[in-house]
Amino acid sequence: MSLRPLIMKFGGSSLADAACMKAAAKLVRNALPDAPLVVLSAMGKTTDGLFRAARMAAQGQLEEALEAHTALMERHRQAAAKLLPLERTASVLQEIAQHGGELATILTGLSMVRELSPRSMDAVASQGERLSTLVFARFLAAEGIEVHLADARRVLRTDAKSGVATPQPKAIAALAAEHIAPHLGAGRVVVTQGYIGSTADGLVTTLGRGGSDYSAALLGAALGAREVQIWTDVEGVLTCDPRMVPGAKPIPELSFAEAAELAAFGAKVLHPATIQPAIEADIPVTVRSTMKPNGRHSVIRGDVKSGRAITALASRAPVAVVTVSSSRMLDQPGFLARLFDIFGRNGISVDIVATAEISVSLTVDNDAETDNALAEIRAFASATVVRDRAIVALVGEQLRSTPGIAARTFTALGDLNIEMISMGANEINLSLVLKKDDVPEALRRLHAELLPGDDA
Ligand code: ADP
Ligand code: ASP
Ligand code: MG
């Protein structure tokens, strides 16, 4: 098929209520000539609510879980009632009730067995996207738009790692060609769920929190899309998380590498895996504001040469830092290999690494179970772990080749203690480790020094 569809992904905040859904639908209508495939998150904070309900049920608090369930259902009923004309409302309310019944059954089951496996959690969590797409697709249809509601579980094939499933791009391409492309080709808008998928034998899975962005990029790559649009509540990828630095500004253009690095180091606006399928298929990703569609936005493309020393700041917390010291490290060939082998065997993934002559520091997950690994290491070196640290990352294409960045960074941070520093191997990322509580102040100081602007 030569048709190059447009992927339009709307996040939870863009679907928070009927008014938001109307704004999103207007954008879809304007894009009709571009063959839009609409990928939706759950409404607002529905997924958080579903997680809470599942946990309560599994703790035996069925009544509370069902109260949360009622509130979630009510949110969807209200949106449907506001969006749909009276004659169409009853049938949609019935469809919502069917989902509600399914969810209540699962919650009741969880309260009986008092356990919550990742598999059960996926069964619960998947209801959020199934409900939002149902309401939105029925609304588009009521607006006179020809629409097909595609079940992502028939397209987004994954392995069986519940909660963090790995997508299978080849199968997804074949399934998208079968279940989505023909509808787009026939001039229909296709609406489908982000975040959820299924295994070959039909087990529902999810891609991890925030995974709808990833779904959008996977489907974009599968269908050879012209662009993947991420519609959200900010006017693009900003120079810093606006909740930390209110003066952060949208970045008009970013390279794939810069965007991938920012996402990996905590810029929540993009799921960290999103960029990968887009890079492979060379599809531009844009980040836009649903409520200010004519405002600013960001374009992320492979051929962008920003030439900037610093493009943006990101932060991720909490993390733990393991420091291993040995006076014999220097004359011990294979010291690092041995260390990584120990972490690997203990299922601990290492994030950033900084080495000195007789010590090496590594960051790991804050909740990582480190006792066994540390015991093994202590047979040949001393080892300590400190928790509740944070990584602050400076990202920019010309970071490495611009003199003076490090000096300005240290001066700006002043009395805030930097516990570890690491230059990323791709040379566009300088990572610092600080105490978690110092992060807001560190970001404000660094932004003012390195990314000053009218409003900084
Ligand atoms: P959605 O529901 O649309 O998926 P998210 O909440 O996942 O939205 O992502 C958007 C949020 O990401 C923004 O509201 C902002 O608070 C946060 N964010 C963190 N870092 C950045 C950044 N560098 N640029 C833009 N937004 C960021
Ligand atoms: N609804 C899911 C979540 O809240 C996926 C997403 O929003 O991208 O994590
Ligand atoms: Mg998101």
Asked if the structure places residue 290 within a domain, the reply is no
Whose CA is closest to 285, among 247, 243, 241, 251?
A: 251
At 277 the three-state DSSP class reads: helix
- Backbone angles phi and psi of 59, in degrees to 5: -90, 5
CATH assignment of the domain containing 164: 3.40.1160.10
Task: Identify whether residues 217 and 323 lie together within a single domain.
Answer: no
Asked if the structure places residue 174 within a domain, the reply is yes
233, 260, 291: which is the final residue of a domain? 233
Give the ligand 2 atom nearest the CA of 48: 4
Cα separation, 76 vs 15, whole angstroms: 11
Q: Which residue of 212, 241, 297 sits with most ligand 1 atoms within 8 Å of its CB, as the best mutation to test the pocket? A: 241
Domain that holds residue 112: 6-233
Task: Identify whether residues 228 and 327 lie together within a single domain.
Answer: no
Task: Identify whether residues 361 and 212 lie together within a single domain.
Answer: no
CATH assignment of the domain containing 370: 3.30.2130.10
For ligand 1, is residue 244 a contact (CB within 6 Å)? no
pLDDT at res. 456: 41
**Inter-residue contact 83 to 21 (CB < 8 Å):** yes
Taking CA atoms only, the protein residue closest to ligand 2 atom 4 is 47
Asked if the structure places residue 306 within a domain, the reply is no
Q: Tokens standing for 413?
A: 């941070």
Asked if the structure places residue 302 within a domain, the reply is no
Taking CA atoms only, the protein residue closest to ligand 2 atom 9 is 209
Task: Identify whether residues 183 and 76 lie together within a single domain.
Answer: yes
- For residue 130, which ligand has an atom nearest its CA? 2
**Inter-residue contact 255 to 78 (CB < 8 Å):** no
Bond prior to 272 in cis (omega within 30° of 0): no
Taking CA atoms only, the protein residue closest to ligand 1 atom 21 is 241
Asked if the structure places residue 326 within a domain, the reply is yes
pLDDT at res. 334: 86
Expressed in angstroms and rounded, the spacing between residue 211 Cα and the centre of ligand 1 is 13
Task: Identify whether residues 150 and 56 lie together within a single domain.
Answer: yes
**Inter-residue contact 23 to 77 (CB < 8 Å):** no
Pairing assessment for the beta strands 298-301 and 196-198 based on DSSP bridges: unpaired
Q: Which residue of 9, 195, 231 sits with most ligand 2 atoms within 8 Å of its CB, as the best mutation to test the pocket? A: 195
Q: Tokens standing for 386?
A: 């400190």
Taking CA atoms only, the protein residue closest to ligand 1 atom 5 is 269
Q: Which residue of 268, 275, 286 sits with most ligand 1 atoms within 8 Å of its CB, as the best mutation to test the pocket? A: 268
200, 233, 266: which is the final residue of a domain? 233
Cα separation, 127 vs 41, whole angstroms: 11
pLDDT at res. 309: 92
Buried b (16+ CB within 10 A) or exposed e, 378-409: eeebebebeeebbbbbbbbbbbeeeeebeeeb
For ligand 2, is residue 272 a contact (CB within 6 Å)? no
pLDDT at res. 387: 96
Give the ligand 1 atom nearest the CA of 240: 23
Per the structure, the count of domains in the chain is 2
Task: Identify whether residues 166 and 62 lie together within a single domain.
Answer: yes
- Tell me the pTM: 0.94
Asked if the structure places residue 280 within a domain, the reply is no
The tens place of each residue's pLDDT in the chain, 456 residues long, gives 468 999 999 999 999 999 999 999 999 999 999 999 999 999 999 999 999 999 999 999 999 999 999 999 999 999 999 999 999 999 999 999 999 999 999 999 999 999 999 999 999 999 999 999 999 999 999 999 999 999 999 999 999 999 999 999 999 999 999 999 999 999 999 999 999 999 999 999 999 999 999 999 999 999 999 999 999 999 999 999 999 999 999 999 999 999 999 999 999 999 999 999 999 999 999 999 999 999 999 999 988 887 899 999 999 999 999 999 988 776 778 888 999 999 999 999 999 999 888 899 999 999 999 999 999 999 999 999 999 999 999 999 999 888 899 999 999 999 999 999 998 878 899 999 999 999 999 999 999 999 987 544
214, 233, 252: which is the final residue of a domain? 233
Identify any residues that bridge with 385 across adjacent strands, giving them in sequence order.
322
Asked if the structure places residue 125 within a domain, the reply is yes
Asked if the structure places residue 15 within a domain, the reply is yes
pLDDT at res. 455: 47
Count of other CB atoms within 10 angstroms of residue 370: 19
How does DSSP classify residue 453?
A: -
Task: Identify whether residues 87 and 229 lie together within a single domain.
Answer: yes
Task: Identify whether residues 218 and 328 lie together within a single domain.
Answer: no
Task: Identify whether residues 334 and 224 lie together within a single domain.
Answer: no
Expressed in angstroms and rounded, the spacing between residue 240 Cα and the centre of ligand 1 is 10
DSSP state letters, 342-399: HHHHTT--EEEEEE-SSEEEEEEETT---HHHHHHHTTTSEEEEEEEEEEEEEE-TTT
